Every structure is written in C-alpha cells, then in structure tokens.
Amino acid sequence: MQKTFNFHFWPKPFKYFEYAKLFMVTLCAIVAFIVAGIFAVLYTRTSTLMYERVREQAVTYADLIMHTKMWNYDYGGVYVEKRRGVDSNTYLLQLGVNPDVKVEGGRTFTIRNHAIMIEEISQRSEHQDDVSFRIVSLNPIDPHNMPDALEKAAFDRFARGDREWHSMERKGKPSFHYLQPLYVEQSCLECHTNQGYKPGDVIGAISITIPMTTLIKETRANKILIIAAAALTICLLLTLIYLLTWRLVIKLDEVQKRLKKLASTDELTGLRNRRHIMKRLEEEFERAGRTQEPLCLMMLDIDHFKRINDTHGHPFGDLVLKRVARRLQEATRRYDIIGRFGGEEFLVISPGTTTEEASHLGERLRTMVSQEPIGDGEHEVAITLSAGFSLARSGDRNSETLLKRADEALYRAKQGGRNRVEAG
C-alpha cells in the first residue's frame, strides 16, 4: 500500500488565446509599420528623383549653352545673312563696332556674337520645347538681360561662393529655375571694358527655366501607384500573417488541450492520474468542510495483481488494468471522481455520500469488477477487488488524514481475506 502522499496542483489555465491575439496585433502592427516605412521612403524618393532629374536636365542645358558660347567666341562671332526678321546688333553699334558686312552680289551679312546667338537659340527652344534660357547680369549692356527677383537671389548666393542655384516654382505654371554663374575672363573685357570688371568676377549667369507640368503629373501618378501598392501589400501581408498565425494558434490550442489532458490523465487506463485525483481530493475536502456535507474517499486494489503479471506477463497485466478501469467507470455515478492512484490501486472520491451509501458503492464496484473473468483469447483470469473507504470527519486536519484512514481500511480488507470492503 502507498504510505507517502504527495500533492501536485495543475497551474492556472494559460490564457494564450488572449496572448495570441495580442501577439498577432503586435506582429501585424510591426509588419504594417515596416512596409509603410519602405513605401514612404519610395514615395519620398520619387519626389527627390524628379527634382534630381530636372536639375540634371538643366545642367545639361547649361553645359551645351557654354560650349555653344565658347564656340562662337573662338570664331569671333558668326556672320549670318540679313534677311527679313534679321536685324543688326544695335548694342555693337553703340560700342562703335559695325556688325554688318557687304559682299559681292549685293548681299549683306551681320555678325551674331555669343550673347545674341544664345538669345535666338532660346527663342527657338522655348517655341519647340517650352524650355527657355538667357544670359542675365546685374550690370547688363542689354536691358533685357536684367535679372528678376529670383535671379537676384541667385546672385547673392554666387557672391558667397555657390557654384549653382536652383528653385522649384509651384505657383501658377510649375517650373524649375536653374542658374549657373559666368565668370569674367580676359577675353570678356573686350566688350565690358567700361563696366569695372576684373578677371574672376561674376559677370552674369546662365538662367534656365524648365516647365514641370508634365513631370509633376507623371510623378503624381507614380505616387498614387506607390500608395496603392503599399495598401495592397500591407493588406496581403496582414491577411497572410493572420491566417498563418491563427492556424498556429489553433494548433497550439489543440496541443495544449492534449498536453493538459495527458498531464491530468493516466495514459494506460484513461482515468485521472494521481496528481489530478489528489488535487480534486483537496478541493472536495475543503468544499465539504465549508458546506458540512459528507465526503467519502474509497481506495481500491486489485487482488493478487503481482501474480497476474508474473504468470501472464506485463502486457496482460496492462489489459487487466484497462478492463478494471472501464468497469469502475461504468459502476460509478456521474458525480463520483475516479482515478488511478498508482500501480493496481484506484481512488474514488464520492461527494455527498453517507457511510451506508459508501458501503453500497464499494460492494457495487467490487461486484462489477469480479462478475466476469478478463481474457485476451489466450489467457483468462478471474479478478477481485479489495476496498477500504472512509468519510471526512470534523476533526480531520486535512485530506491526508482521510486518505490515511481509507488506506488503513484497505489494508484490513487485504488482511481479512481480500475481495471485500472495509470502512475506516
């Protein structure tokens, strides 16, 4: 008989469904934040790329203008035939330079220096591509080359050493303004002798204006696509995470239920195991003490079980334990609690049971188990039970006292010839 009583208690149920929901919400929030951050970078980068693209375009225009200007200057200007709409450069006339040359045949050619050439190329560019450029100066020979307010702001920056200036104008017709300074070279002084310049000074700037309407529309369309892609990606990822995580939660719930069942169930017999049955005994003992209702504890033992194991083997002994457990379950009442205490011993906790009722219950269990032999087709044995029960008393300090009396009653049943029920 068992003489040592250990009490183990099942921990409070782990509310992992609540934790799982919190985990899913947190995970979804983190994923949404990361994906939104990535697309936010792409969204911002789109505007930056648009700005860089138009700036590079402006720089290309400025380089071409400078190459064209230097080509013109290297040849001392380019002569063109005076036709309808081609006028002489009046500002050269003011400097005492005759811009016209007559040739044989009566034709007249007029010189186009770099300044007027750039102006005429700009007119053609503005007409075809809507891109305009001009030479501006704070002290121009031609009044048309006076800078506007934005261009004056650029000259302030050039005076501080900046090598370029650009700005985006969004009011009215969106446009990009780009200015690159022009520095005085020795050759420049031929035309600007009286203006007080010296080599290295900022004599003017190339001012370029590029329309942005089409580019802004394209950029806005790309941003809309980025927002749509971000929303779709986030929705798909969150749906996928939800489905996969929830399936995992369901699986974990099933595993937890199985583990909980295994932790409270005897694997061989399917009855409650020792830890669970002792926990239930403690609970019922405390409840009976509060309500002053009867509480019966019955300990049962299979007679000569060691002989069965030694004679027919442990597999047959396991079969006997399973069959006895099933018969005990069939004989107990709905509110009775039955479990395997250890080895071939079983416990039955019967709340609200009096001494007389406990005696009848013990006899019913003993009779149910012994009414038919147990066999596996090769071996067959008659099984009997010995039982001892006790009822909770007002002087009992704890459930161990109740268990000890039931164990002593079972011992007397064994000593009295077995296959009997004794009260403790």
User: What residues have CB less than 8 Å from 221, skipping those under 6 apart?
Assistant: none
Strand partners, 297: 349, 390
The torsion angles phi and psi of 423, rounded to 5 degrees, stand at -95, 145
Q: How far is CA 100 from CA 73, 87, 124, 286, 311, in A?
A: 17, 10, 23, 124, 136
Q: How far is CA 219 from CA 56, 162, 215, in A?
A: 16, 29, 6
Side chain identity at 410, as an amino acid letter? L
Bridge pairing between strands 380-381 and 78-81:
unpaired
The torsion angles phi and psi of 65, rounded to 5 degrees, stand at -65, -40
118 with 135: CB under 8 angstroms? yes
Is residue 126 flagged as an active site residue? Answer: no
Give Cα 171 to chain centroid, integer Å: 41
The active-site residue out of 254, 344, 345, 356 is: 344
* Active-site annotation, residues: 344
